[in-house]
Homo-oligomer: A and B are copies of this chain.
Amino acid sequence: MQVNGQPQRTIWFDEAQHCVRIIDQTLLPHHFNILSLHTLDSACHAIISMQVRGAPLIGVTAAFGVYLALREGNTDLAGVCERLLKTRPTAVNLRWALDRVQAELLSLEAERRPTAALGLARLMADEDAAACSAIGDHGLPLLELAWVEKRRRNPAAECLNVLTHCNAGWLATVDWGTALAPIYKAHFKGIPVHVWVDETRPRNQGAFLTAWELQQQGIPHTVIVDNAGGHLMQHGEVDLCLVGSDRTTATGDVCNKIGTYLKALAAFDNGVPFYVALPVSTIDFGLSDGVREIPIEQRHASEVSHMQGLDETGQLSRVQVMTSHSAINNFGFDVTPARLVTALITEKGVFAPTRESLKSLL
């Protein structure tokens, strides 16, 4: 997608500098800064510190991380993968990507592995971009139909209102995004989409990243606090919800950013379709009960107690927004039971959130 009118990906191999390059997402939307990764350490740090985030992008970054480790002369492939796997516990793409890298490299002689690892990481980046584009193509008809239906009921309707939570845009992937891909495709096709952007506390990926992405692409959007979506749905201001997923069970339970479950409840209560867009690599076919089985990452309390923004002089600054006398709890994700999900949009088509429907993907 575009930044300042120029095509941009979130991660790529820089031939000239011989390193992996990423956008530092911790500084967006205030600063657009490109970082260089030269080592396994820097790749792990990029994932842990959320310079890169989003399940698909984490997977690809890990693949590049394996390459950087091998290039440094680290020959313990299993140890490298284990270290990368531990950077984030919830997203399943990380394991999927590392399993794939390991399987492909193990069959090669040691000296051929670094070059093969780079090729594979670049291939996986391209495949992710292609998968996300396909997710957009498969989701597009759902938005088109919703718009046609809305105009049929109300010829004066001005736009199709889509609510999204967190950031499942191109910044969460290599390109296109998952939940935002159908929105981009709809926008390019002339459907007047307007996006309600959940702020998404505590890290504000909605207000910081999704709003920035949409603004760069010229798509009308409005930022709301996470508390507001239910009220909007009660008043007919949301035509459909569209979110991403960090891990989805074989039965269609969806693990995504904390608060997704609350929006799914409100959508269900108000008859608003609730779609989840995800690459097939996000489905964990070994799990059948998302609420019981998916490990939920607890993150640092400072994400809740402190906020980053521009001070009066325009400098990036951190303020403490609570007293330090209170305990803080900071779960990163929640699980939306399949019964609240209308459909799963993948690069291989649209599926009902049921074991029956999903098993064809195995």
Which residues of A does B touch, CB under 8 Å? 29-30, 196-197, 199-202, 204, 207-208, 211-212, 214-215, 220-232, 234-235, 257-259, 261-263, 265-266, 269, 291, 296, 304-312, 317-323, 325-331, 333-335
Contact call B265/A269, Cβ cutoff below 8 A: yes
Residues of B within 8 A of A232 (CB): 331
Of A30, A201, A220, A232, the most chain B CB neighbours within 10 A belong to A201
Contact call B225/A226, Cβ cutoff below 8 A: yes
Known A-B contacts A201-B199, A265-B269, A319-B308; A325 and B215 likewise in contact (beta carbons under 8 Å): yes
Nearest-Cβ distance from residue A214 to partner chain B, whole angstroms: 8
A307 nearest CB neighbor, chain B only: B307
Contact call B321/A311, Cβ cutoff below 8 A: no
Copies of this protein in the assembly total 2
Residues of B within 8 A of A325 (CB): 211, 215
Contact call B321/A230, Cβ cutoff below 8 A: no
- Interface of A, secondary structure class, is mixed
Known contacts A29-B322, A232-B331, A307-B309; 16 additional CB pairs below 8 A are A29-B323, A196-B329, A201-B225, A207-B304, A211-B325, A215-B323, A221-B326, A223-B322, A225-B226, A227-B257, A227-B259, A231-B331, A265-B269, A306-B309, A307-B307, A307-B321
Contact call A230/B262, Cβ cutoff below 8 A: yes
Nearest-Cβ distance from residue A293 to partner chain B, whole angstroms: 12
Contact call B259/A211, Cβ cutoff below 8 A: no
6 A-B residue pairs with Cβ-Cβ distance under 8 Å, sorted by A, are: A197-B326, A201-B227, A228-B258, A230-B259, A232-B331, A308-B321
Of A196, A227, A235, the most chain B CB neighbours within 10 A belong to A227
